[in-house]
Structure 1
Amino acid sequence: MLGGVLAMAVGCGGLEDESRDSWFVVNSAESAGDGLVLFDVSLYATSYETNPSGDCAVLSMTAQATVNGKSADIRSRGSKFQKFKQGCEPIRFTGVAPADSEKISFRLFDLGLERVVEFQNVFEPMSMRIVSPEDGVLHPGQTLVVERSPATDTATAFSGGPATFEQLSFFSGEQQFHFNHGFVQDGNRLSFTVPTEVPAGEGFIALEGDYNSGVTRCDFTRCSFSRRKSSRVPVVFAAP
């Protein structure tokens, strides 16, 4: 993984120093009609908190960007914030790709250098299945194991910290019971203890959270594309 960004405009300072942070983030992915999705992307090329004497990354006027091989619009080539003296204005571009794309590839070209970021299974909806108990009948105090797909998704983490918890809710009839604590995660498998206060009867379980799409290539320090996803599965709650 490359920490350096692209070669920058003369006088603006590059990030050839591999120790500096560069964060590539997909801000949004919205329908553009005709089966296309419009992506809004930012590249934060340095941090004044860790590099107070550093320069901001600025693309040259000949720089180009693409999304899945199609030309993208560079909205900002980057510069120092005028209002805030800490941090740099991010490089930003927008571009479209088909909504059924299995992989989304972003490329930046500038002064002979190329940087690439690729995500997979971006538009695949979340699905969930019960691993145990196999019959889907949940008893109070029993261990419930579920598996979510796509397995390449990971729960979103912030600033390099641990992943945020995923929220599992139990629904029995019209009553809802949130249960967020004490679960065990092993990859895309989650283990929960069925709460004792859920009344007997038919219902369902629902899993919801913010998930980063799987990264297959990241030529920057960090790359993220977070989307909110959810899934539910019918179950039967047994009496104590």
Structure 2
Amino acid sequence: RRHAVLNHNPFLGRMMQEDLSAYENGEAQTVMDFPLEEDKTWDFTLFSIEWSASVWGISGNSVTIGANADDGSHLEYVYDGDVGFFSNFVWTDASGVQQMRMMLADSGGGHSGDVYFVRGGDLYSDVWEDTGPDVEVRDTFFVSDHPSDGEWDEMIYFLDAECGGGSSTISLTLRDHGSLSALERVWGPGASESGTLGTIPYPSEEYTLTATFTGDTYLRLKIAGGITTSWSL
């Protein structure tokens, strides 16, 4: 669900089996351009960033690949031919901060259990910061079906909130077209919340969002539709 609403790790979503292309915004991205050969170069888009990639080196069945972006960000990842997947993948931004680090923990056959995939689609996103001493925001959005898979099973929301001292407060209410409350939250002075993930079942039609801010405040809200598919291994 976190990937469905944030798209923070494309490798947790759909991938092409034949070349491990990861889907972003509905398109398969060629993170690895097989066959992998010394000094080979290619381009792709990932994390909404355009990358220029090249093979840095090959040692046995391990291939080290690097990719650079115009803003100074870079990727470094290793494809393990014995496993058929990355042994590690690191995304570092222009400030030198690692935004994502993925390491291979296990591989092999004989796995059993249930596997889940949540197909997501953006419905709403906004950020409010230091809006003023006393502000009310009202907004609406319409929940349409997924372009190919029909009705959403649920809405998935992600939020960060922070109130300063004194009399700072935030209130958030989301109501459906029948005026039934789907989400209600209140934060008082000094309160904060980071990375909260939640769901709203059976979304339909139009929703109205109302948020009030007093004093020093910050609120980030993202909402996506989700359709869950599962398989048994």
Q: Which has the higher strand share?
A: 2
TM-score scaled by structure 1?
0.26
- TM-score in terms of structure 2 length: 0.26
